[in-house]
Amino acid sequence: MGSVKDYFSSLGTGIASLLKGMQVTGKELVTRKITEEYPDNRLDGPAAPRFRAELRLKYDAEGNHKCIACGTCERNCPNGTIKIESKMVDTLTGKKKKLDRYIYDLGSCTFCQLCATTCPTDALEFSNDFEQAVFTRDKLVKKLNYLPEKEEPAPTPEQIAAAEAARQAKIEAAKAAAAKAKAAREAAAKAAEGAADAPVSEK
Binding site for ligand SF4 (CB under 6 A): 55, 67-73, 76-79, 81-82, 84, 109-115, 119, 121, 123-124
Complex with ligand SF4: residue 82 or 161, whichever CB lies closer: 82
Contact 149, 89 (CB under 8 A): no
Question: Which run of H or of E encompasses 85?
Answer: strand 82-91
Complex with ligand SF4: residue 121 or 156, whichever CB lies closer: 121
State the DSSP code for 120: T
User: Closest approach of Cβ 73 to ligand SF4, in Å?
Assistant: 3
User: Closest approach of Cβ 106 to ligand SF4, in Å?
Assistant: 8
Contacts of 3 (CB under 8 A, 6+ apart): none
User: Closest approach of Cβ 76 to ligand SF4, in Å?
Assistant: 6
Contact 96, 89 (CB under 8 A): yes
User: Closest approach of Cβ 151 to ligand SF4, in Å?
Assistant: 19
Question: Which run of H or of E encompasses 96?
Answer: strand 94-105
Complex with ligand SF4: residue 36 or 51, whichever CB lies closer: 51
Complex with ligand SF4: residue 112 or 163, whichever CB lies closer: 112
User: Closest approach of Cβ 53 to ligand SF4, in Å?
Assistant: 11
Complex with ligand SF4: residue 80 or 157, whichever CB lies closer: 80
Ordered alpha helix ranges (H), the chain:
2-30, 72-76, 114-118, 157-197
Strand order in the sheet with 141-143: 82-91, 94-105, 141-143
